[in-house]
């Protein structure tokens, strides 16, 4: 029995000596492979997990509450802090939801769409490289971590050249993008794209047929298709269970309907299948980016949608025309007022389906902002997935779900 | 006179709204004849679920039902209309306007790539039945709803706070929840670990990052003076060792009254 006092408060039923010979251990929240702030309470029978209880909330910052108390443009940089590995995908998901609410999704200029799609795919590569690096590190393949982070640096350099930030990009605006691509950016991107497939081949040579890697990953963390659907799994977690659903293909946004790419699906259902999926998705992203490079020169130089009620005019107009300046002043000080209504806009972020559910009452502040984060539901799945596995596989399974705690706790 | 602030909604509001401003609405379309959505609605009606309202908003079907019917309606939608996945589930606080919460279930049909939303209104303090047996994702999502709004979910397997600490007071996403932390929130950890008496030892929170306390002998040493770590602040004037501040001195040259240095340079 615990004897709580002021310095040792009572911790919920953490009894280390129990009648039934099981042991309860605390995994995290400071465990290096707990991917941030995951506390996992595991009940063990020998080395086998009998019960798993993911305890989250250590990174809860009230992003939804902040979204309800900030004007829409003000909130956009805050969305960077959700899935901080691929910030632009969060910015974009939010911008898309607001654009759908405003009804200006089709008014976004084509050049802005090309740039946004490029940024989204670069972010996907950054996120997948990060997944590969940390997952391999957790499982014990140290060198992959170093190789993958090298390439990730190059991709982050591209983001830095575009928007000036490496991690919290805020590179998308509601109605377009703030900047055109800088001079020479396309060349650096194509250099990167020429380099990356070789590197992906290097990772695959090191891992795909690696005996230890296969032993650690094969048949570990098997998610049945019904469970994956029921637990709300999306993205690679869903496609790893043999269900081909990708929001980019099924409910296309931006330029995805015009692009030629495949959706890799694995019917292995295990961590190894998911690892293969991530590698294939990176190759598809390279394919998409190559097509976008050839699309870019054919676009006019216009970056923001023309919707004077909601979006400020270009800077040249603001500096020369009185009315544009007045509107800009109102939009900055008071914020745009979307029409009354509810919108749920799903996007395919690197981790899965990221959607913003916005209830607007016609005010400059959202009445309700719900972030549907993929990692939240993948964390919920852990309590089902970990039962019956061995403690050595727990790390593999957590790594394979690719959860990011900025997104889980919000 | 003090400005009136409504107590039932303390969230940020627009500072200025034109008197004649009427917010437009997102168009709510009728369900098209012969569309998939119509068959969904018909199947739901046939199974005996009373639909209070149906419309299509931004390409997604919205169905308003009674809160008692939620399990029946979602089972029906999952089994017969192939809405295999529930993407999201949460609530919206309309307590100030109607004294009600709106609970929504955002569903996805993967075969047709179509989305539907089931909404229902519950009164304050009214519980809702769990849908955990239909969609397992409700295990986490309903816990979050309970945590954020205080909505009780009947027959949930483990209804407990998820994001906030277990002993937290209040439900953060309510419109009545204050935007500034109150006294209880500010002292939460201190009260829990050391007890309320310890508040006096710590003292009020200092939010000025540039503030330097002359008598602080533990955190910041003062430039040019050295004080033994943790020395008694009352004896500070006796114990401090004066050191000539070589590094922080600025040497000013008076350029107006022609200095030798300048003349040399010329």
pLDDT tens-digit map of A264-287: 999 889 999 999 999 999 999 999
In this structure, the answer to whether residues B74 and B47 fall within a common structural domain is yes
pLDDT at A187: 93
pLDDT at B223: 55
In this structure, the answer to whether residues B103 and B193 fall within a common structural domain is no
Are B26 and A101 inside 8 Å of each other by CB?
A: yes
**pLDDT, average across residues B74-88:** 91
Q: Using only C-alpha atoms, what is the Rg of chain B? A: 32
In this structure, the answer to whether residues B114 and B201 fall within a common structural domain is no
pLDDT at A45: 85
ipTM of this predicted structure: 0.87
Give the pairing type, strands B51-57 and B241-242: unpaired
Does position A35 have pLDDT exceeding 90, yes or no? Answer: no
Does position B256 have pLDDT exceeding 60, yes or no? Answer: no
In this structure, the answer to whether residues B106 and B193 fall within a common structural domain is no
Range with lowest mean pLDDT among A49-53, A246-250, B157-161, B191-195:
B191-195
Contact by Cβ (8 Å): A169, A87 = yes
Share of chain A above pLDDT 90, in %: 62
CA atoms within 13 A on the CB side of B265: 6
Q: Is B101 within the bounds of a domain?
A: yes
> How far is C-alpha A51 from the geometric centre of its chain's CA atoms?
28
Does position B91 have pLDDT exceeding 90, yes or no? Answer: yes
Q: CA-CA distance, A360 to A339, in Å (whole number)?
A: 7
pLDDT at A326: 92
Question: Which residues, at least 6 apart from A321, have a Cβ–Cβ distance to it below 8 Å?
Answer: A313
Q: Is B134 within the bounds of a domain?
A: yes
Mean pLDDT of chain A: 89
What confidence category does residue B208 fall into, taking pLDDT thresholds of 50, 70 and 90? low
What confidence category does residue B186 fall into, taking pLDDT thresholds of 50, 70 and 90? confident
Report pLDDT digits (tens) over A222-237. Answer: 999 999 999 999 999 9
What confidence category does residue A93 fall into, taking pLDDT thresholds of 50, 70 and 90? very high
CATH at B71: 3.30.460.80
**pLDDT, average across residues B49-62:** 91
Does position A318 have pLDDT exceeding 60, yes or no? Answer: yes
Does position B259 have pLDDT exceeding 70, yes or no? Answer: no
pLDDT at B200: 85
Chain B nearest-CA distance from A34, in A, is 17
Q: Could you tell me which chain B residue has the CA closest to the CA of A247?
A: B113
Contact by Cβ (8 Å): A220, A396 = yes
H helix intervals, A18-141: 63-68, 72-75, 87-102, 110-139
In this structure, the answer to whether residues B218 and B192 fall within a common structural domain is no
Q: What is the three-class DSSP state of A391?
A: helix
In this structure, the answer to whether residues B99 and B62 fall within a common structural domain is yes
Chain B nearest-CA distance from A231, in A, is 4
Q: CA-CA distance, B205 to A202, in Å (whole number)?
A: 53
Buried b (16+ CB within 10 A) or exposed e, A345-383: bbbbbbbbbbbbbbbbbbbbbbbbbbbbbbbbbbbbbbb
Backbone angles phi, psi at B63, to 5 degrees: -125, 125
CA atoms within 13 A on the CB side of B233: 8
Q: Could you tell me which chain B residue has the CA closest to the CA of A337?
A: B23
In this structure, the answer to whether residues B75 and B182 fall within a common structural domain is no
Q: Is B21 within the bounds of a domain?
A: no
pLDDT at B5: 75
Return the number of CB contacts < 8 Å for A and B. 137
pLDDT at B88: 92
Mean pLDDT of chain B: 83
pLDDT at B224: 57
Does position B162 have pLDDT exceeding 80, yes or no? Answer: yes
Q: Is B84 within the bounds of a domain?
A: yes
The whole domain housing B114 covers 28-154
Does position B236 have pLDDT exceeding 80, yes or no? Answer: no
Does position B249 have pLDDT exceeding 70, yes or no? Answer: no
Q: Is B182 within the bounds of a domain?
A: yes
Are B135 and A230 inside 8 Å of each other by CB?
A: yes
In this structure, the answer to whether residues B128 and B230 fall within a common structural domain is no
Does position B252 have pLDDT exceeding 90, yes or no? Answer: no
Share of chain A above pLDDT 70, in %: 95
Does position B219 have pLDDT exceeding 90, yes or no? Answer: no
Backbone angles phi, psi at B138, to 5 degrees: -65, -20
Interface residue of B22, B79, B88, B143 to substitute, partner A, most A CBs within 10 Å: B88
Q: CA-CA distance, B6 to B11, in Å (whole number)?
A: 10
User: H or E element: which one contains B216?
Assistant: none
Look up residue A71 and give its DSSP letter.
B
Backbone angles phi, psi at B13, to 5 degrees: -130, 165
Report pLDDT digits (tens) over A131-189. Answer: 999 999 988 888 899 999 999 999 999 999 999 899 999 999 999 999 899 999 999 99
Contact by Cβ (8 Å): B231, B215 = no
More confident residue, B64 or B211: B64
Report pLDDT digits (tens) over A44-92. Answer: 888 889 989 899 988 899 999 999 999 999 999 999 999 899 999 999 9
Q: Is B227 within the bounds of a domain?
A: yes
Does position A221 have pLDDT exceeding 80, yes or no? Answer: yes
Chain B contact present for A160, CB below 8 A: no
pLDDT at B240: 63
Does position B239 have pLDDT exceeding 80, yes or no? Answer: no
In this structure, the answer to whether residues B107 and B180 fall within a common structural domain is no
Range with lowest mean pLDDT among A71-80, B107-116, B223-232:
B223-232
pLDDT at A289: 94
Interface residue of A380, A383, A407 to substitute, partner B, most B CBs within 10 Å: A380
Range with lowest mean pLDDT among A107-111, A310-314, B118-122, B198-202:
B198-202
Q: What angle do CA A170, A175, A181 make, to 5 degrees?
A: 60
**CA-closest candidate to residue B59, choices B85, B86, B31, B33:** B31
Give the pairing type, strands B60-65 and A23-27: unpaired
Interface residue of B8, B137, B157 to substitute, partner A, most A CBs within 10 Å: B137
Give chain A's domains with CATH numbers.
Answer: 75-305 (1.10.645.10)
Q: What angle do CA A205, A210, A215 make, to 5 degrees?
A: 150
pLDDT at A97: 94
Contact by Cβ (8 Å): B140, A403 = no
pLDDT at B238: 66
In this structure, the answer to whether residues B192 and B95 fall within a common structural domain is no
pLDDT at B202: 82
Provide the domain count of chain B: 3
What confidence category does residue B108 fall into, taking pLDDT thresholds of 50, 70 and 90? very high
pLDDT at A3: 64
């Amino acid at each position: 029995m615990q004897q709580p006092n002021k310095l040792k408060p009572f911790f919920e039923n953490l009894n280390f000596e129990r009648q039934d010979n099981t042991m309860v251990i605390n995994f995290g929240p400071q465990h290096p492979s707990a991917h941030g702030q995951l506390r996992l309470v595991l009940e063990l029978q020998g080395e086998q997990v009998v019960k798993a209880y993911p305890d989250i909330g250590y990174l809860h910052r009230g992003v939804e509450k902040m979204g309800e108390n900030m004007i829409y443009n003000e909130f956009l940089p805050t969305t960077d802090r959700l899935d901080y590995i691929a910030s632009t995908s969060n910015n974009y998901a939010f911008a898309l939801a607001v654009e759908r609410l405003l009804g200006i999704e089709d008014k976004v200029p084509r050049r802005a769409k090309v740039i946004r799609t490029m940024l989204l795919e670069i972010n996907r590569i950054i996120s997948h490289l990060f997944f590969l690096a940390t997952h391999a590190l957790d499982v014990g393949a140290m060198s992959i971590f170093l190789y993958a982070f090298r390439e990730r640096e190059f991709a982050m350099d591209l983001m830095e050249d575009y928007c000036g930030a490496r991690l919290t990009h805020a590179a998308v605006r509601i109605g377009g993008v703030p900047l055109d691509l800088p001079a020479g950016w396309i060349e650096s991107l194509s250099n990167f794209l020429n380099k990356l497939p070789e590197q992906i081949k290097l990772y695959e040579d090191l891992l795909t047929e690696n005996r230890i890697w296969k032993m650690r990953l094969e048949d570990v963390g098997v998610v049945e298709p019904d469970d994956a659907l029921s637990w709300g799994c999306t993205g690679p977690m869903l496609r790893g269970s043999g269900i081909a659903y990708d929001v980019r293909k099924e409910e296309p946004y931006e330029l995805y309907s015009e692009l030629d790419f495949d959706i890799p699906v694995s019917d292995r259902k295990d961590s190894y299948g998911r690892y293969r999926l991530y590698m294939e998705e990176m190759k598809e992203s390279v394919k998409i980016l190559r097509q976008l490079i050839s699309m870019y020169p054919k676009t006019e130089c216009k970056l923001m949608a023309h919707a004077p009620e909601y979006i400020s005019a270009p800077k040249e107009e603001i500096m020369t025309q009185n009315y544009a300046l007045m509107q800009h002043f109102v939009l900055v000080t008071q914020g745009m007022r979307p029409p009354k209504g509810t919108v749920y806009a799903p996007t395919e972020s690197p981790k899965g389906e990221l959607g913003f559910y916005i209830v607007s009452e016609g005010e400059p502040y959202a009445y309700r902002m719900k972030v549907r984060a993929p990692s939240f539901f993948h964390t919920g799945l852990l309590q089902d997935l970990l039962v019956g596995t061995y403690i050595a596989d727990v790390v593999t399974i957590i790594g394979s779900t690719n959860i990011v705690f900025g997104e889980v706790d919000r | 006179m003090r400005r009136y602030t409504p107590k039932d909604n303390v969230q940020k509001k627009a500072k200025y709204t034109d008197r004649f401003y009427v917010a437009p609405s997102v168009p709510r379309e009728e369900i098209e004849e012969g569309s998939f959505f119509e068959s969904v609605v018909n199947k739901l009606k046939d199974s005996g679920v009373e639909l209070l309202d149906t419309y299509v908003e931004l390409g997604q079907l919205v169905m308003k039902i009674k809160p008692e019917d939620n399990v029946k309606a979602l089972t029906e939608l999952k089994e017969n209309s192939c809405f295999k996945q529930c993407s999201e589930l949460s609530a919206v606080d309309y307590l100030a306007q109607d004294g009600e919460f709106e609970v929504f279930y955002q569903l996805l049909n993967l075969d047709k790539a179509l989305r539907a939303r089931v909404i229902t209104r519950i009164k304050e303090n009214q519980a809702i039945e769990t849908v955990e047996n239909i969609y397992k994702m409700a295990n986490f999502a309903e816990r979050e709803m309970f945590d954020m709004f205080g909505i009780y979910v009947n027959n949930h397997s483990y209804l407990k706070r998820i994001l906030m600490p277990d002993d937290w007071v209040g439900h953060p996403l309510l419109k009545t929840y204050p935007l500034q932390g109150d006294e209880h929130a500010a002292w939460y950890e201190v009260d829990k670990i050391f007890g309320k008496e310890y508040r006096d030892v710590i003292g009020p929170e200092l939010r000025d990052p540039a503030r330097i306390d002359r008598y602080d002998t533990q955190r910041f040493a003062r430039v040019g003076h050295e004080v033994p770590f943790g020395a008694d602040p009352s004896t500070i004037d006796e114990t401090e060792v004066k050191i000539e501040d070589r590094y922080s001195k600025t040497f000013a040259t008076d350029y107006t009254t022609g200095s030798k240095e300048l003349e040399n340079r010329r």
